[in-house]
Chains A and B, each alone.
Chain A
């Protein structure tokens, strides 16, 4: 399988009134065709910036620094006009956190869907698309306005919209964060099964580690604008190498025993103003050594994962 997305050492800054803020500080990620990749990290870790950069959807105050971002063999930062529109309309599909806000409130569902489908798509095509996303009541939903739908239904409609043009990659940014716990699983299962059926690759952003563990083949853990650990999901979550991955897993309720305590990560995520000279996680890390603050760790390959940590080698998981 070919690399559909190849991001290497990507740097993105935001100009703000207080000076530049570095959102991506050398992020690297590859996504193969049809692959499902999870992106996890706290807010401010840069995962949304990375997702938006894929479609060049960054706000105007964003500044692309060094590094490359290739989608389907073309460099996204150089795209203009028709080629850029083609990337957004045919290569990529986006699913966002707030489904009702994503849909146009003034248009019935059927019209919105028809607008993103191939020219000449009729009511029957719209219906079958809605049926594909598990909406049994698709005649009524096609005639509805977004505000008449529940959150779960609206998210199904926005998944249908994202898939309408048969894209190569779906980028889902916290698609279930605003939904109810009991339907989160269903929406994710739907997204994953539709991507599998169409051979579409999926980049799923979430801070819900369980959801990522459930859905994704590979996971990229982001911190301070870098992808600090990238590897097969089951292996990374079973035996995290990067201390940040370990700390994230320990902070989630659900795995503690009765009467036990969950351990929040001490301190706050950093706000970078430029290139981090040391490891961005160093102030919060329980395994830090002197070198961590002084030298910028580079990516190393440990047990078939890419890890950015000075102590990655000594933290190598036991051989399977």
Chain B
């Protein structure tokens, strides 16, 4: 994965919880490797608890991996904040929470420039106006407060704020999940257009496979902190190779296959073998005992003993 703006190499993240005498460890990410190149969008899907947000935070340097390496722009990640000022940005799910309610939205958009010390006051104002226009907002809205805008407009402001420093890498964490169908479509198209223009690398995290498939070039599917499938978006316009991917596809009606549906998520994650075993429609004895490694299958990477379904058993 040369040429990646951000690259994770075998990243593990553990969280410890509970009192000292009964420490519990949670494996939020396990052996996660991925890379995002300039101008590329990597989609990251999975249910809640699959480790997708943890992975996003590792990419942004907000969590240090327990083991493994993070490479940013060809160098080991520099955790001093000043070093990566303006180079990384994030757009989150609820713009009403991520924008300061007491600042004009123009001030919020300009803030990253001011903090990074780029340009004078006039220059900052000009750039803010331009940026608002690029995300499809009239510059007069700069003098409004977040509560005076609609959800879609607020999300556009959040995107403008993220992109104003021309970052190399942007994380969109559930950026369209809270929006209406029609607004969602507008924002998804906006992300695609801005990326074609600005050429940043993007990580698009969502539980909605339909939305991820639409904006991403490649898609990584995570389950229980592990990458279970890594495929091109093109592949996922057909059937996924991993039964978990197919389960997600069936759940959002992207494929018609009742047999692909997964069992309830309330079961415990298996400690041995494949973590999906208790929910998997095609699990066998092999799955219960042996952990599947991520291996190539055509242009896809998949961690499953039976990637072609039951017929593919050997």
Contacts and interface: CB of A to CB of B under 8 A. Distances in A.
B47 A253 contact: no
A184 B248 CA distance: 11
B248 A182 contact: yes
B185 interface: yes
Interface in B158-196: 180-186, 188-189
B265 interface: yes
A262 B189 contact: yes
A254 B253 contact: yes
B185 A182 contact: no
B185 A263 contact: yes
Contacts of A137: 266
Interface size class of A (residues with CB under 8 A): 35 or more
B182 A42 contact: yes
Contacts, number: 86
Interface in A124-175: 134, 136-137, 152-153
Contact of A251 (B185, B213, B251, B265): B185
Contacts of A43: 151, 180
A252 interface: yes
B262 interface: yes
Nearest to B236: A258
A234 B29 CA distance: 42
A268 B185 contact: no
Identify the interface centre among A43, A183, A253: most chain B CB within 10 Å of its CB: A253
A264 B47 contact: no
B150 interface: yes
Nearest to B244: A182
Contacts of B262: 182
Contacts of A264: 182-183, 185-186, 189
A71 B264 CA distance: 36
A236 to B, nearest CB: 15
A89 B266 CA distance: 31
B208 interface: yes
Contact of B251 (A153, A181, A252): A181
Contact of A180 (B151, B207, B247, B253): B207
A134 B265 CA distance: 12
Contacts of B184: 251, 253
Contacts of B189: 261-262, 264
B186 A182 contact: no
A248 B237 contact: no
B181 A252 contact: yes
Contacts of A208: 181
A77 interface: no
B181 A248 contact: yes
Interface string B258-288: 0001101110000000000000000000000
A248 B213 contact: no
Interface in A177-222: 180-186, 207-210, 213-214
Interface in A55-71: none
14 contacts: A134-B264, A137-B266, A152-B265, A180-B207, A181-B207, A182-B248, A185-B251, A214-B253, A248-B181, A253-B184, A256-B214, A257-B237, A258-B237, A262-B185
Interface of A: 42-43, 134, 136-137, 152-153, 180-186, 207-210, 213-214, 247-248, 251-254, 256-258, 261-265, 268
